[in-house]
Structure 1
């Protein structure tokens, strides 16, 4: 993780008494402290998986998980926090090679175990809708690197906004050849990026 994050020096991470970790955290920037705590948390999880379930974890999987988790934590706004019941929402946008919207969809998801499950549900929904309504070659993109082809969230703003629409309205919909007004400007902006 040192190649990805600015973490405290290795020599500072040695037990030097009951409050050693508090001293380390107190001596670094907030982001470094947060990253260190995530690494320690993940290390404990990996240890528990190996000890109690005899399941080994792939290092790349942990690195990817931690990067996604940190990015998500940094992107959280207090407004619209998900509830603790596992309710979530997904958004899908299907476009042709020129960027024209062929289909938009959004749906509320209940009892989701975690964010990766929701992202995979969004992928499945996109594939299902594409197969049903737009029978042509397709590229699936997601802002979850554990799903399929990772794109940064800023390149997936339309689907992200459609997911927020599903959460706000608490209903699902599929529109062919058009999109809701709340994402029209995002589609236009995204099409400009595609043509450049």
Structure 2
């Protein structure tokens, strides 16, 4: 949450006895005090869910939820309860102005009898960090696996995209026996499945691994829009920023 909120530093969060919480809140500004209370409330809520065997959402979900919740509380705090109930808030003066956003194209589900592997690479030129994100789904959209993989050595964005293809295809083979539709927003990376144009490139070794994987399963390339590849994109960016690797089946 410190990535979004100016929360107190760790050295302030010390066990000072029964008055721990009161001492902490007393040394916070009004806004930070609200943030600390909301965060503690969320922690208690998740702990309660865990104790009852409920599934706990990923940390990023909680971050987005709390940030949105706090903004809503602050907006509502500008008005009295009576004004809110009667709907007398002046939206033009107080509500944030929203841009008109065109609906993006939906994720293209694979045809019956196949599964879809959506992959994406993320590369940050300023520091050379890179990662791959991938998700395998059936025709109904049910997730068979989701994963992100941090790439320790990467030269450019295209190499990250080819890495994502290779890593995703390798994971898809043991998780489905069906033909795999490989979805990527990089037409150049996808060309490695159907042509030899990248065989003699700097990514030749990765391409050779891709060709070898194609001997174990039928892989069908499909170019999709960036907006249709948001899941793999988010996974790759998170992996790159956090420098971490994980797989969920």
- TM bracket (short chain): 0.3 to 0.5
Q: Normalising to structure 1: TM-score of the pair?
A: 0.46
Q: In proportion to residue count, which structure has more helix?
A: 1
Bigger CA radius of gyration: 2
Q: TM-score, normalised by structure 2?
A: 0.37
